[in-house]
């Protein structure tokens, strides 16, 4: 197939598979608000009141966290915003205008709050002028929530969503309405939206730059998530070629499913443990069906992002218990909230460099109540002794030690309250920033296990934003610095007998698997959907061969050489059907 042509768009293949369906176009983050006539004023008022309720909840959360972080006085701006949301005169005016003038609620909100601001701006008091800026924020928050509401209620089933950017929460929503695939203008391979798409098996092509300009609502499109191409209004030949491919893909998947109960052992007898990553509760059955031997990473922040709020201890306890029980006796590693980065801060605080900001363990250690709530829920759910707790974004030994102290405090509280838990619950860290890679041996001594997060490790090691399509060529998982760092971490952990595994997306890349095993990894955690493919690779290789392959790769100084050698290896060592998946 020739992957270029007038009706073909190129992007980054973010989630494999092929989808052929009608396009649903949505420019979600269009900032401007235009005046539109509406028919259904009741629905508009309902959308408005739900958006107001949501804005109120967001602000209350922001307010209480801001008091902790910024002190009561500065947090007062959020309280002022809350008061506007409850101003009866303003709300009545907005509702009356929607009813009487039959215009869209976001326009009326914008217009009415702008009037408020204009009055404040006209004041001679500098204080009032400042407040007017704060009100801009609440105005935008309400408008965003009305738009999101509309965007969510409008997505039809069985379409390919074409939009500028997508959040992980949007991707989750897509499964609920059976979206067939998605195409975005922006985004990279290991952005969280792409990871969720992979785990949900929704074919996706991201970072096309101009899909929303070139695709119209209702166009027929083909999304090829294997090669990163999108075909708009395909010709007869293109369509029949892709229908053939789709059939072939289904056949391969049926074949792979037969491997479910077979062990993941290399031809020369080395056992590899295959665990699954879990981003959504709904994936759990899929994990077991696909033959995972446990869960190596539960991204709790994703699960609760769907709920859109920080759940209380009881809600978390129920969920963790359910996951642990369903999986029992298989092990399940649950990671504490990794908030920040592209997984937006609940505070809605805008940081200039979110990936270098208030993220993961830093956020948790600064919000102890929230952290302790999660730890207590995890401990209480650990009675069957199959839960392990993992901490994200560790950069220093102090963070590990402080975290362990907090776990001890929670354990003592539970003891006093006569609540049961696993006193020997294993604690582990993600090694995903260069400082913890360099210190891997010393950090590993402090914990029971280590999991390498290559998604972030590559981003931080190579200084390449994992979600930015403009630098996706520089995001090189086979960069010699990456594989030498992996080798170093693995050796350091194994020298002191600390379990080391990998849960970044690199482990799900069938091209990387022989190399990773050759580097010494015996445990991989990947999206459940790719476990059969990975198992097939493991069962087709000899450990001795992949060991020599990785030894040789470690001597190379360019990614190109490393990749070429791996391609050669595939040609000579692997079967035809695996090549179809590449």
Which residues are known catalytic residues?
192, 503
Question: What is the rounded CA–CA span in Å between residue 538 and residue 530?
Answer: 12
Per-residue x/- track, 319-338, ligand PEP (CB under 6 A): -------------------x
| Interaction partner, residue 553 (Mg ion, ligand PEP, none; CB < 5-8 Å by kind) | none
Is residue 456 a contact point for ligand PEP (CB under 6 A)?
Answer: yes
| Interaction partner, residue 299 (Mg ion, ligand PEP, none; CB < 5-8 Å by kind) | ligand PEP
Per-residue x/- track, 290-319, ligand PEP (CB under 6 A): -------x-x--------------------
Report whether 146 contacts 48 (CB < 8 A).
Answer: yes
Which three-class secondary structure state does DSSP give residue 22?
A: strand
Strands 220-224 and 18-26: antiparallel
Count the residues of the shown chain that bind Mg ion, applying the rule CB under 5 A. Answer: 3
Is residue 432 a contact point for ligand PEP (CB under 6 A)?
Answer: yes
Is residue 509 a contact point for Mg ion (CB under 5 A)?
Answer: no
* Omega within 30 of 0 (cis) for the link into 329: yes
Report whether 483 contacts 438 (CB < 8 A).
Answer: no
Out of 455, 476, 501, 529, the only residue in the binding site for ligand PEP (CB under 6 A) is 455
Is residue 514 a contact point for ligand PEP (CB under 6 A)?
Answer: no
Is residue 453 a contact point for Mg ion (CB under 5 A)?
Answer: yes
Is residue 503 a contact point for ligand PEP (CB under 6 A)?
Answer: yes
Residue nearest to Mg ion as judged by C-beta position: 456
Region near ligand PEP per CB under 6 A, out of 21-29, 58-66, 451-459, 470-478: 451-459
Report whether 466 contacts 459 (CB < 8 A).
Answer: yes
Structure tokens at 150: 């509309």
Is residue 106 a contact point for Mg ion (CB under 5 A)?
Answer: no
Residue 235 DSSP label? -
Is residue 185 a contact point for ligand PEP (CB under 6 A)?
Answer: no
Cβ closest to ligand PEP, residue 333 vs residue 455: 455
Question: What is the rounded CA–CA span in Å between residue 480 and residue 164?
Answer: 33
Query: Least distance (Å) from ligand PEP to the CB of residue 55?
Result: 28
Out of 212, 290, 374, 454, the only residue in the binding site for ligand PEP (CB under 6 A) is 454
| Interaction partner, residue 59 (ligand PEP, Mg ion, none; CB < 5-8 Å by kind) | none
Residue 5 DSSP label? S
Query: Least distance (Å) from ligand PEP to the CB of residue 465?
Result: 13
What is the layout of strands, in order, in the sheet containing 181-184?
8-10, 229-232, 220-224, 18-26, 159-163, 181-184, 204-206, 12-15
Cβ closest to ligand PEP, residue 98 vs residue 515: 515
Is residue 432 a contact point for Mg ion (CB under 5 A)?
Answer: yes
Length in residues, the chain = 582
Region near Mg ion per CB under 5 A, out of 97-105, 430-438, 533-541, 564-572: 430-438
Query: Least distance (Å) from Mg ion to the CB of residue 330?
Result: 23
Region near ligand PEP per CB under 6 A, out of 86-94, 106-114, 452-460, 545-553: 452-460
Report whether 179 contacts 204 (CB < 8 A).
Answer: no
389: β partners: 334, 427
Residue nearest to ligand PEP as judged by C-beta position: 453
Query: How many other CB atoms are found less than 10 A from the CB of residue 237?
Result: 9
| C-alpha distance across the termini of the chain, in Å | 14
Cβ closest to Mg ion, residue 132 vs residue 451: 451
| Interaction partner, residue 294 (Mg ion, ligand PEP, none; CB < 5-8 Å by kind) | none
Cβ closest to Mg ion, residue 108 vs residue 194: 194
Cβ closest to Mg ion, residue 145 vs residue 199: 199
Is residue 280 a contact point for ligand PEP (CB under 6 A)?
Answer: no
Write the DSSP string, 191-215.
Answer: SHHHHHHHHHT--EEE--SSHHHH-
Structure tokens at 570: 């595939």
Region near ligand PEP per CB under 6 A, out of 110-118, 303-311, 326-334, 447-455: 447-455
| Interaction partner, residue 504 (Mg ion, ligand PEP, none; CB < 5-8 Å by kind) | ligand PEP
Write the DSSP string, 466-513.
Answer: TT-GGGGGG--TT-HHHHHHHHHHHHHHHHTT-EEEE-SGGGG-TTTH
Ramachandran region, residue 17 (left: φ > 0; alpha: ψ -120 to 50; beta: rest): left
The torsion angle over the Cα atoms of residues 431, 433, 439 and 443, rounded to 10 degrees, is -40
Residues that bind ligand PEP (CB under 6 A): 195, 297, 299, 338, 432, 453-456, 503-504
Q: Residues interacting with Mg ion, by CB under 5 A?
A: 432, 453, 456
């Amino acid at each position: 197939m020739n992957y270029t042509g007038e009706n073909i768009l190129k992007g980054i293949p973010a989630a494999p598979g092929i989808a052929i369906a009608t396009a649903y176009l949505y420019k979600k983050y269009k900032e401007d608000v235009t005046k539109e006539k509406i028919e259904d004023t009741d629905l508009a008022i309902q959308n408005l009141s739900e958006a107001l309720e949501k804005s109120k909840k967001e602000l209350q959360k922001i307010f209480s966290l801001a008091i902790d972080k910024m002190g009561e006085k500065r947090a007062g701006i959020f309280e002022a915003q809350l008061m506007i949301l409850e101003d009866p005169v303003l709300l009545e005016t907005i509702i009356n205008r929607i009813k009487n003038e039959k215009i869209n609620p976001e326009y009326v909100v914008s217009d009415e709050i702008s009037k408020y601001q204009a009055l404040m701006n006209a004041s001679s008091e500098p204080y009032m002028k400042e407040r007017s800026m704060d009100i801009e924020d609440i105005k935008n928050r309400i408008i965003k929530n009305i738009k999101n509401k509309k965007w969510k209620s409008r997505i039809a089933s069985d379409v390919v969503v074409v939009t500028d950017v997508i959040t992980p929460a949007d991707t989750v929503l897509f499964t609920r309405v059976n979206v067939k695939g998605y195409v975005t203008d922006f985004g990279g391979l290991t952005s969280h939206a792409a990871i969720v798409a992979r785990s949900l098996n929704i074919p996706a092509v991201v970072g096309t730059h101009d899909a929303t300009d070139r695709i119209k609502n209702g166009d027929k499109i083909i999304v090829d998530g294997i090669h990163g191409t999108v075909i708009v209004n395909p010709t007869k030949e293109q369509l029949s070629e892709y229908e053939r491919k789709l059939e072939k893909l289904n056949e391969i998947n049926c074949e792979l499913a037969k491997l479910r109960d077979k062990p993941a052992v290399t031809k020369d007898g080395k056992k590899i443990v295959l665990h699954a990553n879990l981003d959504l509760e709904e994936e759990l059955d899929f994990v077991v069906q696909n033959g995972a031997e446990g869960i190596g990473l539960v991204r709790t922040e994703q699960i609760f992002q769907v709920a859109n709020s920080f759940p209380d201890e009881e809600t978390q306890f129920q969920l963790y218990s359910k996951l642990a029980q369903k999986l029992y006796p298989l092990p399940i590693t649950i990671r504490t909230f990794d908030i920040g980065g592209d997984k937006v801060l609940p505070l809605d605080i805008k940081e200039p460099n979110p990936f270098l900001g208030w993220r993961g363990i830093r956020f948790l250690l600064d919000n102890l109540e929230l952290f302790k709530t999660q730890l207590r829920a995890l401990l209480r759910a650990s009675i069957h002794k199959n839960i392990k707790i993992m901490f994200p974004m560790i950069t220093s030994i102090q963070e590990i030690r402080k975290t362990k102290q907090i776990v001890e405090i929670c354990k003592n509280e539970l003891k006093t309250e006569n609540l049961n838990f696993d006193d020997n619950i294993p604690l582990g860290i993600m090694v995903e920033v260069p400082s913890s890679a360099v210190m891997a041996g010393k950090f590993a001594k402090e914990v029971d296990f280590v999991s390498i997060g290559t998604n972030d490790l590559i981003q931080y090691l190579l200084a390449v934003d994992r979600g930015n399509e403009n630098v996706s060529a520089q995001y090189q998982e086979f960069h010699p610095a990456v594989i030498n760092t992996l080798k170093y971490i693995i050796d350091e952990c194994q020298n002191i007998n600390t379990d080391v595994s990998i849960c970044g997306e690199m482990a799900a890349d069938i091209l990387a698997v022989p190399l990773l095993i050759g580097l010494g990894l015996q445990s991989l955690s990947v999206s459940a959907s790719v476990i059969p493919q990975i198992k097939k690779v493991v069962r087709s290789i000899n450990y001795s061969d992949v060991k020599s392959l990785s030894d040789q790769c470690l001597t190379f100084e360019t990614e190109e050489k490393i990749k070429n050698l791996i391609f050669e290896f595939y040609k000579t060592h692997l079967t035809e059907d695996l090549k179809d998946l590449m």
